[in-house]
Structure 1
Amino acid sequence: MKTKEDKFLVGSKYIELFIYPDDEVKQINTIYEMMRLNNGKSDIITVICNFSLALKFEKNSPTLAMSFIDRAITLNESIESRNFLPHLYHAKGRFYYNQGSYSKALQYFEKSLKTLPSDQKLYIASMYNNFGLTYNKLKNNKRAVNEVKTGIKILESKKPLTSEESLFLAFMKGNLALYCYELGDYSEAEQIFIEEQKYYLTSNANSHLIIKNYSSLYELYSKTGQNKEAESLTDKVRAIEPSLKTGDAITANEILNNHYSKSGNVIGLKITSEKLIRLNNLFDHDNEIKITRISDLLNKHIITQLTAENENEVKMQRNKNIFLLFILFSAVIVSAVIYRIIQSSNQKQLELVENRNLILEKNQKILEKDIDAKNEKLKNFHQNLHLKIETEKAFLENLKKIRKIKVVDAEELLKDLFFKVNSLMQIDERNFDLIHDSYLENDKFIAKISEDYPSLTAKELKLCVYFRMNLNSKEISTLENTTMGTIRVYKTKIKMKMNLDKDQDLSEFLSAM
């Protein structure tokens, strides 16, 4: 009965994914809840959950996304049902493509193609499209043209096409036009771009695809000096611009801004420039909110998972300690009985029993110290986790500062910055052990030092915590996003306020408090 209830709950959570298609935070939370309810009972559900989480973190946390996709692939390769494998290989290839590891991307696109059933023409065509995209990045546009043409031919051989297949066919043709343009075949590229545009407009396609087509076509018109066509295209852009979402509206205004700049329209240029500033600020703000929500959600699930693991570890340790104490208690009782029996014999036997009791007492003390050490390790474990979260937030704050810089391609920079943040979070073991400390201990220390030295500022109090942990200037400057020179200046000011000698070690003084 319990198993049926769990399956019902997992199924209901799966349905929730379709109720909030645009709310990534709710979807991520729902997937984690599905994993918790499934608890490893169904391998295929575990594969789906890891696959879904990989896709959710693809843009915001590439390293985490790769770890989820690897778990899904490893599990799916070990079970009988392997229907998801082609899509898992495809996703891992795309992750490598996003990282710029194009040879590895091609390897996994090939694996996906080999495992796809022959009747899955849409997905097979998609792989050839991916080959084209990858060879384009490798500056081999002739190979890219051949690959995408193969994909187009495969999909066109299927009759009739579904709306999804027709849309993807138009999308592939748009990629073909781009490769032709980069090869200098402007006439062929223009013809395909126009064909792609007609399909999007007649099929009421997503506005993102339409504005992407407009952008490519405008670039071609500008390159070939077709001013009338460029002017006509900008009229279409102006017509749809008010209805576009923020990201697409930025692209539309960049087209108009470029056109006004070339045509000398100062008023239009000023209007679009101001609008671009507002749109980019809005885009950055929305992304910051989204990133913060996802980061908080991820930290919450990590803490929940680690807390559960700690509770299990504590429980196991407690049971082990009880068992050891029982053995020790039994040994003491046995020793006492033996002692009474031997007491009636000679003095030599009596000394033997006394020595045995001393050994038992020593073992008991060692056991008690071991229990204390285990509890201290658990306490340090939670302290380490708290400061790890604080370190992540410090990096995110640095990221917010970087985003205030005006860039042309904010999306590409955002991807790059997220990759760097996740790399920085792989702190080496030495720094990890040195930096982490508990919030509770820090609060007590700050309260005491504030009372003893009221002239210290909030910034100086925070640095005292780092100095107390014996961190050097380089490590502290990394955490505070400042220079080592600034940290040394603060250190001198703190020592002056504490009336310490110039040669007196500040870290030793703070550690002794």
Structure 2
Amino acid sequence: MTRKKLIVASAVVAAALCAGVTAWHYCSGEAGQKQSAQALLAKGMADFNCNDVVKAFGSLQQAAAAFKHEGDSDGLFEATVYMAMLYDQIGQRDQAYRTLKTVEFRDVPNYKDYSSQYYLRLMGFYKSLFDRDYTSAERFTRRAIEFSKEKYPADAAYMYMDMANLAEFYIMSGKTDSARLMLDSLKRMEPVRRDIYLSEAYYCRGRLFMAEGKADSARRYLEASIGVSRRYGSFDNELMALKLMTKIDSTADDLGSYIAHQRAYDSLREKIRGNEIHYRVAMLREEHKIDMLKQESAKSRTIFLLTLSVLALVALILAAAFIYTLKRLKTRQEMARLEKQRADEAAMRERLENELLQLKMEQQGRMLDHTQKENIVMGIKLVEQGGDANKMRPLDRVLKETDKDFIRKLETLYPQLSRNDIRLICLIRLGMPSGEISKLLNITMDSLHKSRYRLRKKMGLEAGQILETFIDTI
């Protein structure tokens, strides 16, 4: 890979790393700011129990959205029930009812938050308040009582509250006898420390006595209901009890009591309305804040997704460039290998051709040498067969004509050699047997051995060196 391509690849890798760091930054930042749904639910319930309506509303709304996104039906049920209770607490009961109807009843395993029981109690109350469906109201409330007996046997306060509510539903539906039986049964129950249920029970007693025309008994129970309501901040029961008190005062022509009770009623109503307005404004602000958080979260998710898309695109480009470069590199390597293979094959062919030519030349040389030696031997044989008494002169002529280069080389290397020595060397070089040499030179074998000995000394051969081999090397 060239330097330019390395620089380009490095730039692509750097871009991919930057995109990855950006994606991690947004992802980790969003994850760090986002709380778990369970934590939001726990915070909302804690704020609800501390009467911090605004904070509870914000946490519960976020928790409900998170549970819905996660598909956690139990968590969504709990958050929705507490949201409905918040709406009820600030006087938005129609909104509370609509919120509550978005979920079905669930017997959640977490019984410490009482969400299942709250659902049954609120549904009973809203069925009677909005739908005038007292049969359904009684059914939900009886189920709440049974639920309390089964799930909270050690905490009777909730069951007592539901029994008092059921007595009121009986009164609304005209079942006064059932209402009395329920109130008598409630009276026989062991008292509990948190006796907020007495506000409702005394109110129901007051209504029953008022329906029977027993104003004094009705007044006594209604005053008791007002006292308990004020002690626990149960504004609804206090408001209803004051309303009935004004009717009793009006019937009895007790103007002073009527004015006092009417003023208390109007003051409490204005207080409730003021609190409702305050909480509604605060909750609208909280909703706006939550909407802004949602928008920021959506923006962060959009940026994150865009960053992931860019990162994926860069990764694809990088992968494509890498694959393309790798293919080109492999193609170049293959071409280089084929080129080297062709060069090696050409060199091998050239070497084989040279070796073959050398073999041919050596073969031709050997054939020439052999032919030359045969010609010399033939000439020597002709000299031998001739009738001339002096054979040396023709012999020398034959040797000189057929191998004059060798003889010239001998004379140059060894000028101390005599004509007889050169003649003997040429005959030895021709490979003639010693018997033929002695016969051709007309000397005895003994003289031939002596001539060979003298020749070794003149040529400077050492002991062990073979004369024939040495002559072939000249």
> How would you bin the TM-score normalised by the shorter chain?
0.3 to 0.5
| TM-score (ref. length: structure 1) | 0.40
| TM-score (ref. length: structure 2) | 0.43
> Which entry has the higher C-alpha Rg, 1 or 2?
2
